[in-house]
Amino acid sequence: MVTQPALSPADRDRITAAVRAAEARTSAEIVVVVETAPCEEADATVALIAAGGVAIAAAGPLDWLGLRLEAIVIGQALVFALLAALASSSRVRRALRVGRIAAHSAAHRAAEQAFDDLGLGRTLGRTGVLLHVAAADRRVEVIADSGVHDAVAPETWREEVALVVEAAREGRIADGIVAAVARCGEALADALPPQPGVGDELPDEPIVR
């Protein structure tokens, strides 16, 4: 999969139109999220900054050694600056990667976080469906809320995932997303047909971050 997918305005419009067309056939809500930064690198950055915070907090007892306050503050600042620099270094970030399992885990956590943050678990019929594309991590995941999970078999989403993955390998990530959304609409239309007053609670536009 391409590491930095560029969704042009036309691509975003196509995806938005695909979501609206799919949702016209179902009471479910489909949201597309594309992560452009590696999820595991974000985790590594947070971990390093957290370590910096621990180091700074632990420096407090240095005054027992009779060091002047100015020296302690300068030392703390240097430690934090060093860790922040390490966090921004691509070489260090690559070293912190622990393989595909870690990448999968980080992408899955990012998908779950997006599901929660965007309110997919708070729709009226519990029918939110997230298509999460962690492009740099080469991971695609579909997360469905309980109302969808009870009506649609989990293996249904494998085809949608495959559509995005195959298209992205060819540099056509937008095509893959559009096809996957259309396929989601077909599956959801059979299991969760439109209902009056249900749906259109979440954004149709793809969220790229």
Query: Residue 198 pLDDT more than 90?
Result: no
* pLDDT tens per residue across span 64-108: 455 555 555 565 566 556 655 655 555 444 544 444 555 678 899
Residue 136 lies in a domain: yes
Is 2 a member of any domain?
no
| 111 & 195 share domain | yes
* Same domain (yes/no): 73, 29: no
Residues 160 and 111 in one domain: yes
Q: How far apart are CA 208 and CA 77, in angstroms?
A: 34
The pair of structure tokens assigned to 74 is: 């300068």
- Verify that 49 and 129 share a domain, yes or no: no
pLDDT for res 39: 82
pLDDT at residue 205 greater than cutoff 90 = yes
13 and 115 share a domain? yes
1 part of a folded domain: no
Residue 53's pLDDT band (cuts 50, 70, 90): low
This prediction's pTM: 0.71
**Do 162 and 138 belong together in one domain?**
yes
pLDDT score at 89: 53
Same domain for 33 and 134, yes or no, is yes
Binned at pLDDT 50, 70 and 90, residue 5 comes out as very low
Asked if 96 and 118 count as a contact pair (C-beta separation under 8 A), the reply is: no
Q: Do 110 and 14 reside in the same domain of the chain?
A: yes
Flag whether pLDDT at 10 surpasses 80.
Answer: yes
Residues 92 and 145 in one domain: no
Average pLDDT over the chain, rounded to an integer: 80
Give 120's DSSP letter.
G
Q: Looking at the structure, do residues 159 and 61 belong to the same domain, yes or no?
A: no
Residue 133 maps to a domain? yes
Residue 173 belongs to some domain of the structure: yes
Phi/psi for 47 (5° steps) reads -65, -40
Identify whether residues 34 and 67 lie together within a single domain: no
Q: Are residue 79 and residue 173 in the same domain, yes or no?
A: no
Question: Which pLDDT score is estimated for 78?
Answer: 65
Q: How far apart are CA 138 and CA 99, in angstroms?
A: 12
What does the pLDDT read at residue 200? 85
Q: Give the residue, 180 or 74, on which the prediction is more confident.
A: 180
Cα 89 to its chain centre, rounded Å, is 22
Of the pLDDT bands very low, low, confident and very high (cuts 50, 70, 90), residue 136 is: confident
How far apart CA 89 and CA 45 sit, in angstroms, is 10
CATH of the domain at 150: 3.10.310.50
What average pLDDT does range 6-21 have in this prediction? Answer: 95
- Domain span at residue 136? 9-39+99-208
What total of structural domains would you count in the chain? 2
Q: Does 20 fall in a domain?
A: yes
- Specify the pLDDT at position 197: 80
Q: Which of 81, 96, 111 is the last residue of a domain?
A: 96
Is the confidence at residue 50, as pLDDT, over 90? no
Query: For residue 109, what are the CA distances in angstroms to 43, 141, 204?
Result: 10, 11, 23
- Please say if the pLDDT value at position 37 is more than 80: yes
Predicted pLDDT of residue 23:
96
